[in-house]
Structure 1
Amino acid sequence: MTVATLSARELPAAADRLAGLAAEHAAAADTAGRLSPEVVTALRASGFARHFVAARWGGTEGTVADLVQGVLRVSASCAATGWCVALLAASSRYAAHLPEQGHEKLWGSGADALIATGLVPTGTAGRTENGYRLSGRWHYVSGIDFADWVLLCANVPEEDARPRFFALPRGTFGVVQSWDCVGMRATGSHTVVVDDVFVPAHLSFARSEMESGTNSWSRLPVHNIPFQAIGATTFAVPAVGAAEGALAAAVRVLKGKRITEAVQIDLVRATARIDSARHLVEQNASVIDDRAFQPNLLARNQRNASFAGEQAAEAVAALVRVAGTAGLSDSGDLQRFWRDVTTATSHVALRYDITRAAANYSTALIEQAI
């Protein structure tokens, strides 16, 4: 396993290197439906997977703000790579809720283990001596093609059907190549299948701890973050970065053309939407790193993420309009960013109704009224 020695200070340069390579392979990855081996190798060496891993295992113990900037940079070159970077980093943070023996299992030989996650509890687990037996199918598990481990959420009937996460190493689960979406094609968001696999207790933790941000095994601030504060942001940031990539692609298409006032207006509005979306996800990162977990700010983070995704999607749609037919060339980058942003922002984590972003923020707003 590759062992990186990157510190948080080196992440920007690592992100630039990964972004450059990902840009070179983006079109081929989109066609093939998977990241190239060269990009996966660079992703592992970049330090993103270890960004939230404890220093005692060789991790960075990095900030959310640094991760956001890195994901924005990579996503502006290849949305699929940026998406995988964001979710793999988040998965390492989720895995920090495992008992200490689980930490050693994942990171004892290096902090760069690539972990994919199935957040929805679509499987079931039964209690056994010293652990659980897990079965089920989990859809849309991004990065599973190259992940070393997978975290899967399942209900446990003996525990009042309360969900738990279970960590399984590659070789103990199957993968059904089911991802056929029009965008984010290279994320490898396929279906994971588990058939009655034993999972020891030290490779499991209650989902309630991840949701509440209460970690029984690590006191590091980055391992004790309420899911409401950070969950949706994880999915919004790659979309915002990809919108920035779409802007650059649209400008390349427009260069040398006669630009009408209507095009100028649409272009400027798109840039404002993208800048606004970036500000919102950066604001979310500041709330998390400052540990400002008051209910109104938690609700605002949810709102920010959903609205940032909405602004990114609207901006890219406008960029496609201003670029015209040339922007939809199959050999160009803009149409790929358009498909990727449209797909990314359709994610359930960015839905106002499903995440209760609208309800939570409007309630907090009214309760603060004098």
Structure 2
Amino acid sequence: MPGNEDGLVAAGRRLAETAAPHALKSETARRLTPEVADAIVEAGFPRHFVPARWGGTEGTFVDCVRAAAHTAEGDPSAAWVASVVASLGRMATYLPEAGQRALWQRTPDTFIACGLVASGTATEEGDGWRVRGVWQYVSGIHFSDWALVACPVPAGDDGHEVRFLLLPRSAYTVEDSWFTVGMRATGSDSLRIDDAFVPKEYSFPRGALLAGTPPEGAPRTSAVPLRAVSGLTFAGPVLGAARGALRAFGADLARRRASGPGHRVLAGNDAAAQTALARGLARTEAAGLLLEEAATAADRGVAPGPGTARLALHHAVVADLLADTVQDVLRLSGTSSHDQQAPLQRFWRDATTAASHAVLRLEPAGREYVDALVAQDAFGGGTIEEGEAGR
């Protein structure tokens, strides 16, 4: 697959080495340590999709997915935050010039957080809106410099339009609300705005992001419908979590076998453990190939419709396959792997939690894709080849 094994990908490997020793401390604190947050910025995740004219990398989806997966082998939560902050650099290219300048005039490494689900209230005031509200599940918020929040704003004829609004760190506070089984260290607490003014030039319509229609001159990666790429942001960390789980399982198997032929291997027998490991390695490799193919397709460009539905399905299938893989090896891992300091149980909790994200749910993605196929009579005759469903 095309991609650059230097740059962000190599930095993702280094970030894994930095994050792994901090994983337990980060999980206990329910947010990343400052050292890991700084390493995410140093690795280049915030600048990855930022336009070159602001000093950004203007990078690819393939490189971002690879880098996030590598990072997740050390700590899936660190990979999640890194992948999210990279994706928000892409999202911010939808802002008007003034908003982009506020974010990136000083540096392309601005750490952005986001309240993606529409919430809050906005009242019109001058050339902007007075905003209040609470937005949940804002990953990495503790280290953010700016935030984007989705908010319904007044539109003509007493209607409303959902827009993303840009606010500086001084305009919002953090509410402690992130108490989860997995992905604890993402620090996905709530963002609270008590009273802030947002000028219209610090906003853009959500509809443009969904359709993949950024302002003129935006990087090519910006001109992709959100549905075609949102799953990449979260599936990459799941891929790395599965790799980390298999490595931990394999290392435990090797240690137990080295103890002597009379030592009972794991909770099952040696053959069952070997089969589970081999099957897991093959599944994970297959999932990685499918995910990279989806990222490559996004880099080439995809229009709204069946092509977007196809990629969303691929993201969901990858996450589903990987979560099942980690579950399978955990069942054969033995009691010691369930200790709160054991890496395998953390990879399992993180992979399971990450795979439950709304954009990675298999059933709605499957229905969406099949509906698209039926609508274009793809089952009416011939064969369904790659891309025939409308890339």
- TM normalised by structure 2 equals 0.89
Partner of 1:286: 296
User: Which blocks of at least 5 consecutive residues in structure 1 are unaligned?
Assistant: 1-6
Contact 2:72-2:78 within 8 A present in 1 as well: yes
Partners of 2:225 and 2:217 lie apart in 1 by: 14
1:1-370 to 2 correspondences below 5 Å:
9-159=6-156, 160-257=159-256, 258=265, 260-293=270-303, 295-353=305-363, 356-366=364-374, 367-369=377-379, 370=381
Structure 1 contact 229–302 (Cα < 8 Å) conserved: yes
The CA RMSD over aligned residues, in Å, is: 1.6
Change (3 A) 1:294 1:205: closer
Post-superposition offset of 1:260: 2.0
- Name the % identity: 40
In structure 2, what is the Cα distance between the partners aligned to 1:199 and 1:47? Answer: 28
Q: How many residues align?
A: 362
Partner SS state of residue 362, structure 2: coil
What is the TM-score of this pair, normalised by structure 1?
A: 0.94
Deviations 1:71-94 (A, max 9, x none): 010011100000001100011111
Deviation at 1:109, TM superposition (A): 0.1
Residues in 1 aligned to 2:82 and 2:187: alpha-carbon distance in whole angstroms:
13
Q: Contact (CA 8 Å) 2:10, 2:67: kept in 1 or not?
A: no
Note if contact 2:225-2:304 (Cα within 8 Å) is conserved in structure 1.
no
**Distance change >3 Å, CA 9–CA 272, structure 1 → 2:** closer
Displacement, 1:316?
A: 0.7
Deviation digits for residues 100-156 of structure 1 (CA, Å, limit 9, x no counterpart): 111110000000000011110012222221111111111110000111111100112
Farther-moved stretch of structure 1 (243-252 vs 108-117): 243-252
Of the structure 1 ranges 358-367 and 37-46, higher mean CA displacement relative to structure 2 is found in 358-367
Q: Is the 8 A contact 1:71 1:237 kept in 2?
A: yes
**1:8, CA displacement in angstroms?**
8.5
Name the larger-Rg structure: 2
- C-alpha separation in 1, matches of 2:253 and 2:166: 48
Measured against aligned partners, the alpha-carbon deviations of 1:165-224 in whole angstroms (never above 9, x if no partner) come to 001111111110110001111101001111231001111000001000001243321121
SS at match of 1:167: strand
Deviates more, 1:68-77 or 1:253-262: 253-262
CA-CA distance at 1:9 after TM superposition:
3.9
1:305-338 residue CA offsets vs partner (Å, 9 max, x unmatched): 1111111111111111121212212221111111
Deviation at 1:294, TM superposition (A): 6.6
How far, CA to CA, are the matches of 2:168 and 2:217 in structure 1?
22
Q: Distance in 1 between matches of 2:231 and 2:212?
A: 15
